[in-house]
Structure 1
Amino acid sequence: MSSSETPKDSSCKDVGNLYMEELRMHPKELLLVEGELQVKDVQGPKGEGSLEDRMEKLEQEETAKLWSDILSLHDTTNKLQAQLYDVQNQNCEYENRFKYISRAASFRIPETKMSFLDGEPLPWKFDDGSSSPPSPKE
């Protein structure tokens, strides 16, 4: 016994991998034809041309898919950037509108307490105690 493995070790290895033999077997296809079960080996895809040509074609397909993904991400980025610009412009419009409202409020006509015709105080606007309304005549 020159090998370092004991029979016990190899049996433990088989117990740990009960289905390993089935996994190593070549896949088979089961067909039922006219009441008779037929077993065929599954065949892989048949390649046309040399291995280099097939690899080149596969690389081109993957590259085309990557480019389509990149272009779709670029379009999505452009759409999101446009939405950001729209929000910024809307914000500027609101700021301008509020600025005009505040200017209009600051430039409004001040409240008058005196008549423009004769310069006397208006009878319905008395807020200081110095000028009192005339007493009613009896």
Structure 2
Amino acid sequence: MPMLSGASTDFLIAITYDHDTVSLILASVLLTVFVVVFCIACFRISRKAGFSAFISSFMFIPGVNILILILLGFFKWPAEKELAAYRKKYGPLEKKKDEYDNLPVCVKCQTPIPPGVKNCVSCGWPEKYKEF
């Protein structure tokens, strides 16, 4: 590139090594990632709670987001109402019995000990000591 008389190349160095531009791009990417993750989390929480997914859009309005958090934290969720109605109709859920319920457990680590095994398979208790 031909140099013009009296022209300075300092502006090229300033444009090439401008740290403010790199910082701005990095901050924009990180902010975008944060907003997307926050939006997905709010969407999933509101859906699992039984509310409309539209409620998650209110989390971006200052002041209203505090009210939404209070709503989610202290009011009864539609999913809880549905579970209470199910338990009222069918009774509480019972734990299914399995083959490990009646096994003896290790005193040290509370792991079930299978029949025919003398030492705990998890921690080895009681350890066998060699006699001298």
Fold similarity call, TM over 0.5:
no
Structure with the bigger RCO (C-alpha within 8 Å, sep 6+) is 2
Q: When the two structures are superposed, what TM-score results if normalisation uses the length of structure 1?
A: 0.34
Q: When the two structures are superposed, what TM-score results if normalisation uses the length of structure 2?
A: 0.36
Higher strand share goes to which structure? 1
Q: Which has the larger radius of gyration?
A: 1
